[in-house]
Structures are given as C-alpha cells and as structure tokens.
C-alpha cells in the first residue's frame, strides 16, 4: 500500500492489513516508524535472498535463478517506494553492500561464461533488479517461479529471436 500511496495514513494501512489502527499505533509511534520497520524488513529479506542463493557455492545458473525467485518474493511481500527507502543513510549503506555482493556474483557469471563480457560497467547489476520489478508489476497472476523463469530467460537471452542478433549487426 505504501508503494502505491506513500502518503497513506496509519488508519488506511491498518484497514488494508485487516487490523485496528490502535493495534498499529501500539507498535509504531508514527507513520515514519512504521515505514522504517517496513524498509528494515525488506532489507533483511533481501539479505536472506542473497544468502539462500549461495552465490559462492552453487553453480552460477542455479544461484541466479534462486536469487531472482527469492527477490521476486521479496518484491511481492514488501513493495516500497525506493526513493523513500534510500533516503535513510544506514539503509542505503546496507543496500549498497548487497548491491556490491550481487555485482561480484554477476562478475563470476561473466568469468564462468554465463554472461557476456564487454557490457558497460555495472550494466547487468542495473538491469536485473529492473527486470524483477517489471515482472512483478506486469505478471501478478504468475507464481514466483514462473516470474523467475521469465526474468532469467530475458536476462540471459534478451527478447530477440534466436539467431537474429547476428543478422541485425
């Protein structure tokens, strides 16, 4: 709800959650406190998604799919306005650590031949989260696994027909 309406009141948030607003106020003194707790929960879930993907141990393709599927679940559970989330310096610092960890994993994918070398610096690390956000917005009826299949296939193969990339050059 906060992603769709960043100005939503505690009362409307409580109604959407199916609880009385007093229940929310007992736990959170202000809307900002509630928002901070949501941002923290999302960030913690991203950390668990990275850990569960096993970037160092699992085969690259397996780790990529696992990471994408887990982050899609996070995006569905904790949809937030990133500009508001990243306004908090500590959250931004932790997000940047996770971003660097994903970047190192994507470099491993290049080194092992899953991703092609020579793309602009950080391109894959910028593209992947955008694809995950797009699929959540445009395929809400699909399962997390189905969404991950679409994202990973698009990420690895693009949207062009097989064999047509060479003809376009």
Are 132 and 142 a contacting pair, CB within 8 Å? no
- Residue partners of 114: CB distance under 8 A and separation at least 6: 60, 61, 64, 156
Question: How many domains are there within the chain?
Answer: 1
Q: Is 55 domain-assigned?
A: yes
Q: Is 154 domain-assigned?
A: yes
Residue 122 region by backbone torsions, left for phi larger than 0, else alpha for psi between -120 and 50, else beta: left
Q: Is 143 domain-assigned?
A: yes
Q: Is 12 domain-assigned?
A: no
Are 75 and 45 a contacting pair, CB within 8 Å? no
Q: Is 14 domain-assigned?
A: no
Instruction: Say which residue the tokens 């491993």 belong to.
Output: 108
31-71 per-position pLDDT tens digit: 778 788 888 888 999 999 999 999 999 999 999 999 999 99
Most confident of 38-47, 87-96, 122-131: 122-131
What range defines the domain where residue 93 resides? 31-159
Domain containing residue 143: CATH number:
1.10.357.10
Cα separation of 69 and 145, whole Å?
6
């Amino acid at each position: 709800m906060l992603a769709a309406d960043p100005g939503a009141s505690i009362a409307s948030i409580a109604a959407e959650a199916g609880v009385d607003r007093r229940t929310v106020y007992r736990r959170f003194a202000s809307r900002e406190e509630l928002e901070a707790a949501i941002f923290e929960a999302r960030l913690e879930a991203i950390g668990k998604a990275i850990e569960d993907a096993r970037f160092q141990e699992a085969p690259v393709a397996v780790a990529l799919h696992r990471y994408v599927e887990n982050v899609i679940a996070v995006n569905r559970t904790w949809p937030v306005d990133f500009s508001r989330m990243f306004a908090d310096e500590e959250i931004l610092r932790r997000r940047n650590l996770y971003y660097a960890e994903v970047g190192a994993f994507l470099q491993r994918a290049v080194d092992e031949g899953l991703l092609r070398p020579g793309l602009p610096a950080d391109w894959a690390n910028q593209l992947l989260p955008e694809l995950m956000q797009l699929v959540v917005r445009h395929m809400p009826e699909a399962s997390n696994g189905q969404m991950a299949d679409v994202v990973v296939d698009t990420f690895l193969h693009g949207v062009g027909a097989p064999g047509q990339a060479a003809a376009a050059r």
